[in-house]
Amino acid sequence: MADASSEAPAVAAAVEARGLARRFDGAVAVAGLDLTVGPGRVHGLVGPNGAGKTTLLSMLLGLVRPDAGTLRLFGRTHGEHGARARDGVAGFVEAPRFYPYLTGRANLELLAGLDGGDARSRIASALEVSGLGDAAKAKVGGYSVGMRQRLGIAASLLRDPRLLILDEPTSGLDPAGMRDVAALVRRLAGDGVAVLLSSHDMDEVEGLCDDVTIMHAGRAAFDGTMAELRDRAPAPEFLLTTSDDEKALDVATSSDGLVVAREADGEALSVRAARERLDEYVIALGRAGIAVRTLALRTSALKSLFFDLTGGGPADAATAAEPTLEKVPG
């Protein structure tokens, strides 16, 4: 039996928040939220606009002070350690901003000078891994939204972070850029960096994250691993058109684990079923002499669960706005 004194000390979580809360002019932005992000984990933060994601990320970066609750970063609190509580923490919220009349490299040089230490020595590698290349020689005023996102990631890497906080880092990126950011995030996590990123895209989160917190009205509607989320997800929804929708509805009544209903416009059928059950239904339609004309995925299983947990649908997710962040002195 190993001596307890010889065991390795427990590694502090990159983020440990308990009962975190924040109000703006009486409106609740974050309400008693618990969050844990471990080293080497990619943690997704998803939710409709107005759910409190940006406010939460701003509290983690010290841009907004919580009204209640405790927040530890690598075991440190602001009350006990002051600004040093955020040593090893880097990232951005909302769109990263830079001096438009300076080049990308010049902006990084300015930030590295402010940060001190050996940040300047990491400029070249930060530009390389963010994929800016020769664009670093151009003035930021001419950058696209995606290029500014890349420069924001490069600026975050100057601090050699152990916790990287990214607010919708793939916004404005083309598919190749999204792939590059995903590869970078996974590589950093493989090196032990904790990554907390927000996103509106459940498909992106599913393919990238180890853990996920789904926020709704300032609270965690779900917090756990991606595997646990998948276990809770309902069947995906498909849109189906056939040569005889009425007969297709009759065929569906004899199948368990399958929900088929006519669309409101009467032009198609909605089908909820796991893929195996869907395959059986399509085969049954063919045997009944019914042609399948179109079959398309409307809502994935995880997106269906997202809408169930946040009480809305795809249209609702784009209507609300995040509360404006209040400037906190000091």
Residue 317 has pLDDT above 50, yes or no: no
One-letter identity of residue 139: K
- Give residue 25's pLDDT: 87
Domain harbouring 280, CATH code: 3.30.70
In a domain, 48, yes or no: yes
Whether residue 21 sits in one domain with residue 115: yes
Work out the number of other CB atoms within 10 angstroms of the CB of residue 164: 26
State the Cα–Cα distance between residues 159 and 119, nearest whole angstrom: 6
Q: Angle, to 10 degrees, between the axis of helix 104-115 and the axis of helix 123-130?
A: 130
One-letter identity of residue 92: F
One-letter identity of residue 176: A
Mean pLDDT of 122-141: 90
- Give residue 75's pLDDT: 93
Instruction: Give the range of the structural domain holding residue 289, as residue numbers without chain letter.
Output: 237-299
Whether residue 198 sits in one domain with residue 51: yes
Two tokens, residue 5? 């004194």
In a domain, 306, yes or no: no
- Give residue 212's pLDDT: 95
Whether residue 70 sits in one domain with residue 34: yes
| Burial track 31-67 (b if 16+ CB lie within 10 A, e otherwise) | bebebbbebbbbbbbbbbebbbbbbbbbbbbbebebe
Residue 18 has pLDDT above 60, yes or no: yes
Whether residue 295 sits in one domain with residue 209: no
Residues of the chain with pLDDT > 90, as a percent, come to 55
Two tokens, residue 112? 């590295």
In a domain, 316, yes or no: no
Of the candidates 22, 206, 193, the residue with the CA atom closest to the CA atom of residue 91: 193
Mean pLDDT of 170-182: 84
pLDDT digits (tens, 9 = 90+) for 37-78: 999 999 999 988 888 999 999 999 999 999 999 999 999 998
pLDDT digits (tens, 9 = 90+) for 114-123: 887 888 999 9
Q: What share of the chain is helix, strand, coil (3-state, %, to 5)?
A: 40, 25, 35
Residues of the chain with pLDDT > 70, as a percent, come to 91
Residue 175 burial (10 A CB sphere; 0-12, 13-18, 19+): exposed
In a domain, 252, yes or no: yes
State the Cα–Cα distance between residues 153 and 165, nearest whole angstrom: 10
Last residue of a domain, one of 189, 212, 232: 232
pLDDT digits (tens, 9 = 90+) for 67-113: 999 999 999 998 888 888 899 999 999 888 999 999 999 999 999 99
Whether residue 200 sits in one domain with residue 178: yes
Domain harbouring 85, CATH code: 3.40.50.300
Whether residue 271 sits in one domain with residue 224: no
Our count of domains for the chain comes to 2
Whether residue 287 sits in one domain with residue 222: no
Whether residue 176 sits in one domain with residue 59: yes
Whether residue 247 sits in one domain with residue 221: no
Residue 323 has pLDDT above 60, yes or no: no
Say if residues 15 and 196 touch (Cβ distance below 8 Å): yes
| Burial track 116-138 (b if 16+ CB lie within 10 A, e otherwise) | eeebeebbeebbebbbbeebbee
In a domain, 325, yes or no: no
State the Cα–Cα distance between residues 86 and 88, nearest whole angstrom: 6
- Give residue 324's pLDDT: 38
In a domain, 327, yes or no: no
Instruction: Give 254's pLDDT tier (boundaries 50, 70, 90).
Output: low
Whether residue 192 sits in one domain with residue 46: yes
Whether residue 284 sits in one domain with residue 262: yes
Average pLDDT, the chain: 86
- Give residue 329's pLDDT: 30
pLDDT digits (tens, 9 = 90+) for 220-249: 999 999 999 988 888 888 999 999 999 999
Please tell me the least confidently modeled range out of 13-17, 230-234, 293-297. Answer: 230-234
Mean pLDDT of 144-173: 90
Measured CA distances, 192 to 134, 171, 222 (Å): 30, 25, 25
